[in-house]
Structure 1
Amino acid sequence: MKRTYGLELTNNSKVSWAFSLPRSKTCIDATEICKKLCYGRGIRYQSQAQKDKRERNYRTVELLLKNGGPELLAQNLVHLIDSARPRDWLTSKLMKTKPDVPWTLRIHDVGDFYSTDYSRAWQIAVCERPECDFWFYTRSFQTPAVYKSLGELASLPNCQGWLSVDADNLSQGLLALCNQPAARWKLAILQSKDLQLEHLQDAIPEIGKANIINFPYHHGGRNIAAFNQQVVTSCPAIVGDLKLTNDPHTSRPCQLCSYCLPG
């Protein structure tokens, strides 16, 4: 029997723990390129169980927001965050050693921020768990109210926000960076055949190479030729430097690399 409500994380072989929502209901500023190339279209995300989980998460989020606002949703998100804590977290703190894996959570490996109340709930929850490192990529920077709210989330010391851009929304993403100079935004590029390095040449020196990450489009274990690494850093898990793993007690590529994480 299918459950109607309940929040649940996804254990991702690249990022470790992540929260997911349905793209059709939450990717409010998705571009045509994003819709076409999104890895949420990949086979591992298309099982009925994965689809049901995302829909159930969304229904639960909406129910909690309707009945108790961001504060009630945040309480439930904190419980979810705690479930991602490494098994030896408390003993490691007592012994002053490192846990088996870092305590991290990616907000959305599928889906995006779609309302101010929803983003506010995450802001409250992230504040409640300062020892957990959070990060997210978003295209919701063309919806002013949501982007303003996300700026507060991205400014928290244990959360890194990335504006996700491609050939369709690059200029809007660069403008959004300029409009929130106080927030800790960085730039994540979806490199497709439609985007050339020349399109970024003027922006890179101003933004800084360390504040940009490139994701060459990949499918079926293959990716398009990445931009010059001397100019733009490409994701090591895509270009082959780090391998995916399903071992829950081994750090995943994103945790090992930590380029996209706060700090």
Structure 2
Amino acid sequence: MKLNYTRIILMATAVVFFYTACKKSETKPAANTASLTDTSTSKIAFSLMQGLTGAYGGTNINDGVKAESNITDGQNNGAIVFKKVPLCGFTIDTTFNTKTKSADTSKTFFGNFKFVYTCSTDRPDGYLTHDSVVRVAVSPLLKNTFTAAQDYTVKALDTTYKLVSTSGSILSVTDNAIYKDGFSVGYDYNYNSYKLRGLKIDFTKGSADIITGVAEFKSTTSYLHPGDKQVTEVSNTGTITFLGNHKARLHLNEKNKSYSVDLLTGVVTAI
């Protein structure tokens, strides 16, 4: 179904987790806690921005909230202007499931989405989305799973729809397993979840600039590469405080350390 009233691309929310070892036999080594690096700190902030701006193939916050100011009925000669636009409360609620195969690799793409226009007056000035998307690729050598999730509301703060507020949650999970001769020989796992608290987003200059608000996060990176003797694992919780001009301050609770993050360049500086 194509929605002509807005440029919004519908995305994702769901907590779907896949990690099927399919091992003949294996004893998982004890986890070894890795030291934090600037790279992992940068990824925590970038993962959130990617979710908001549609890099995972979903809703792009840059599109803002756009709705027609009138509705045209094709059976009449001209536009019919409604005092209250019927889009208020307009809902899309559906599921999808697609499977393909290339050589020895099968791919599955599935999920669901629910999208609702919201109105504070007599015109649509926001929306809520509760959507999910999962991609799975399986072959004799791998099983790669990616989950993207969004569950949040957006509300326009001005009549141009170029300044909006949003609150809710975003999730992204990648889980890639490596196999050899039927045995699991390694994996890469990354989990990032965010609780959005009063974000205010400005896109008058084109790209989304979060000028205020806080995102609370939980992040886990775990991997065992072929040849490794121990699992490497890093887990963090903390907050991202947005400062405007594509800058943010990221605080790690466990280490009680803060970093300045440039959300355009990825440069991370300890504070």
TM-score, length basis structure 1: 0.26
Higher strand share: 2
Higher helix share: 1
Higher RCO (Cα < 8 Å, 6 or more apart):
1
